[in-house]
Amino acid sequence: MIFRQNKLIFATMKKHETILIVDDNTSILTAMRYLLDGIFERILTLERPDGIMKLMAQEDIDIVLLDMNFTLGVNSGQEGLFWLRAIRKLHPQTPVVLLTAYADVALAVKGLKSGAADFITKPWDNDELVRKLKDVLDMQNEIVTLDEMEKKHIRRTLDHCHGNLTQAAELLGITRQTLYNKIRSLTPDTSPKGEDS
């Protein structure tokens, strides 16, 4: 009975789609594959960062886990920062989590300032790594554009005013014509909900 319940709970857990892990250490890639197998539908890996852009052009990637150093003996993190900026430029909606050595926390903070969503230090704690990746993805799913926020606010106000444009415009602190124009620009395929009485 307990086994069946756990199986049911596991089956109803939502898996995230695709993660790309970029690290020159094959042992790390293997460990990540095992760890994240139950979390992501697809786990893509690269040992060299020069294939990132090509892969991201071909695949829908939900999150990137990116090492900061790829050249043997070089620990400046500049390679990771370079690829972070390249990803952010071409795929600004895809969150990037940096993977860095424990001693490079200051460098990881520099990565955060360059647009990284978070960072994980090596050696990592499995639970913390999974939690951070899930948190980044959850936060990404919660981001709403200003247009979407405005559209929801206008709809709520119109509902509150039972479709009365004049009253809704007054509540919003704009003219009736401005409200009408906003409704048209936000939802060009529909007309305002109601007319004034």
Would you list the DSSP string of 184-195? Answer: HHH-TTS--S--
Query: What mean pLDDT is predicted for residues 28-52?
Result: 93
pLDDT value at residue 182: 83
Tell me the helices (H) and strands (E) count for the chain, helix number first.
9, 5
Q: Which of 26, 67, 21, 10 is nearest to 43 (CA)?
A: 21
| Residue 7: band (very low, low, confident or very high) from pLDDT cuts 50, 70, 90 | very low
Residue 140's φ and ψ, nearest 5 degrees, are -60, -40
pLDDT digits (tens, 9 = 90+) for 57-72: 999 999 999 998 887 6
Q: What is the mean pLDDT of the chain?
A: 80
pLDDT score at 106: 75
CA 97 to chain centre: 10
Q: How does residue 8 score in pLDDT terms, banded at 50, 70 and 90?
A: very low
- Which of the four pLDDT bands, split at 50, 70 and 90, describes residue 28? very high
pLDDT at 154 over 60: yes
197 or 81: which leads in pLDDT: 81
pLDDT score of 48: 92
pLDDT of 143 reads 59
More confident residue, 132 or 73: 132
Q: How far is CA 65 from the centre of its chain?
A: 12
- C-alpha to C-alpha distance for 196 and 3, rounded to whole angstroms: 61
pLDDT at 85: 93
53 pLDDT band, cuts 50/70/90, is very high
Output the pTM of the full model. 0.64
Residue 32, pLDDT score: 94
State the pLDDT at residue 12.
Answer: 37
94 in Cβ contact with 62 (< 8 Å): yes
Whole-number pLDDT of residue 36: 93
